[in-house]
Amino acid sequence: MMMLRRNILAVAAVLLIPAVMSAQNRSLSPEDVLVFMQEALHGLGTADFSFDFHAEDQAGDILGDESGHFVAQDESFRLSTDAMTMFCDGRTKWIYDMVNDEITIFPHDVTSVDPAENPFAVLSKADPASYTFKGRVRTGDDSYTVVMVPKSGNVSFTQLEIAVSADTFLPVSLKYMNSNGDMYVLSIRGVSSTETLPKDYFKPSEELLDNPDIYITDMR
């Protein structure tokens, strides 16, 4: 009798799991989505993103299309496309324009969540208290989407739309608009965890910096 009762309870628990998860999903707040996404990103350690990037102005004219990779490790990152590579060791940022053979050096603000400072920072560091959320979480077949407006005027964007996977809470897309009405869409094709990389991976090589054919502008 005791064994039968345990079996019945076990079956009941399994049957109830989908209902409980469904109830939790329906009650997700935008703040929950941000927190769960950041926990999922943190769990990756060194993260490798493949992405497509599209930008257009308010008239719908295309400003640019790019595809590439973004690798993040602690406060360091490296972003690579066919036209440029951005290196950042957490303190300094080097933008290598391969089309014009130019490197521009900037100081890096690790506290900023502005996509202009770090294209992925808003995903990993956005504080829910710093945003006003527009509407409830939108639930798709396999994703959750939140729309948020920054309370501070000291950032380059006026609205953000973040979509995450319903299974993993890892980001699948990021859309943001600036004050001119320009729209930028980052579609994430894949996210994976990779091995810890050496610090030099996030800096341009000495050979590159010493190349006499490359013009260097230091803005530090």
Q: Look over the chain and give the mean of its residue pLDDT values, rounded to a whole number.
A: 86
What's the residue count for the chain? Answer: 220
Render pLDDT for 65-96 as a digit per residue (tens, 0 to 9): 999 999 999 999 999 999 999 999 999 999 99
CB 55 within 8 A of CB 186: no
Residue 23 has pLDDT above 50, yes or no: no
CA distance 177 to 185: 9
Q: Indicate the fold that domain 29-218 takes in CATH.
A: outer membrane lipoprotein receptor (LolB), chain A (2.50.20)
Which of helix, strand or coil describes residue 81? Answer: strand
Reply yes or no on whether the pLDDT at 184 is more than 80: yes
Percentage of the chain beyond pLDDT 70 is: 88
pLDDT at 8 > cutoff 70: no
Task: Look up residue 142 and give its two tokens.
Answer: 């396999």
| pLDDT attached to residue 19 | 37
CA separation for the pair 136, 30 (Å, rounded): 7
pLDDT band at 126 (very low <50, low <70, confident <90, very high): confident
Question: What's the rounded mean pLDDT across residues 3-30?
Answer: 46
CA–CA dist 202, 77 (Å, integer) = 6
List the beta strands (DSSP E) in the chain.
46-56, 62-73, 76-81, 84-88, 92-97, 102-107, 131-133, 138-139, 143-150, 157-165, 171-178, 183-194, 215-218
